[in-house]
Copies of this chain bind each other. A is one copy, B any other.
């Protein structure tokens, strides 16, 4: 066995950096409004500045980061209206996908989901928020990919990405993680039982907590920032 030193190119490395920054945002390690200085990130993450630059451009396109010319990049702060709109689209998309998942589901899908969920449950049990986040993403991708339309899956993921900046509240909370775990188990069970209505309902319900937690927090913050002016 030979350890191949694979040499990635800028675009790929930038993707990796973007993913890393995305995680740090979701986990609340990078907070909204926080400034993202190119050289700083470049040094910390061990890449050249132009790679960071490209990563930031990607995160801007995705909507996680805001960039103003000559001033730099910031973690974007979503306002409650926007969050509501995004979640409304997510609901429609995920319902659409869930309705196209073949029922009865192939064993292959069920065992795959169970396997992923084991990893997720383990991460939740050990309180490893990062691992939980990763497993969570993989679970949803595998679930919706079963609808058979990769382009629909892509949209679902894109919309999920958009609100990652709004998820630092729930992504680190043991309570919310446990709830997510239980709902995942419920989805698997619904698929196994061939109960489509229940699956769709669970998907919809699954979106609620993080949305509501963020909106509550954001509205409190907005109210505050109004009284303090700016």
- Chain A residues at the B interface, C-beta cutoff of 8 Å: 9, 11-12, 54, 57-58, 61, 67, 69-70, 82, 85-86, 88-89, 92, 96, 149-152, 155, 158-159, 162
Residues of B within 8 A of A9 (CB): 69-70
B57 touches A151 (CB 8 A): no
B159 touches A86 (CB 8 A): no
When C-beta atoms are compared, the residue in chain B nearest to A12 turns out to be B69
Cα separation A162 to B11 with both chains bound (whole Å) = 20
A89 touches B57 (CB 8 A): no
Given that A9-B69, A96-B92, A155-B155 are contacting pairs, would A85 and B54 also be in contact in the complex, using a CB cutoff of 8 Å? no
Residues of B within 8 A of A149 (CB): 85, 88-89
Cα separation A226 to B165 with both chains bound (whole Å) = 47
In-complex Cβ contact of A67 among B11, B61, B152 (8 A): B11
Cα separation A54 to B11 with both chains bound (whole Å) = 10
Beyond A86-B151, A89-B151, A151-B162: 9 further Cβ-contacts under 8 Å?
A9-B70, A54-B57, A85-B149, A85-B152, A88-B149, A89-B152, A92-B96, A151-B159, A158-B158
When C-beta atoms are compared, the residue in chain B nearest to A152 turns out to be B89
Residues of B within 8 A of A11 (CB): 57, 67, 69
Cα separation A96 to B93 with both chains bound (whole Å) = 10
Residues of B within 8 A of A162 (CB): 151
When C-beta atoms are compared, the residue in chain B nearest to A8 turns out to be B69
Cα separation A88 to B67 with both chains bound (whole Å) = 34
From A82, A92, A158, name the one whose CB has the most chain B CB atoms within 10 angstroms: A92
From A57, A69, A89, name the one whose CB has the most chain B CB atoms within 10 angstroms: A89
When C-beta atoms are compared, the residue in chain B nearest to A88 turns out to be B149
Residues of B within 8 A of A85 (CB): 149-152
Cα separation A150 to B85 with both chains bound (whole Å) = 8
Cα separation A94 to B159 with both chains bound (whole Å) = 17
Given that A11-B67, A54-B57, A57-B54 are contacting pairs, would A155 and B96 also be in contact in the complex, using a CB cutoff of 8 Å? no
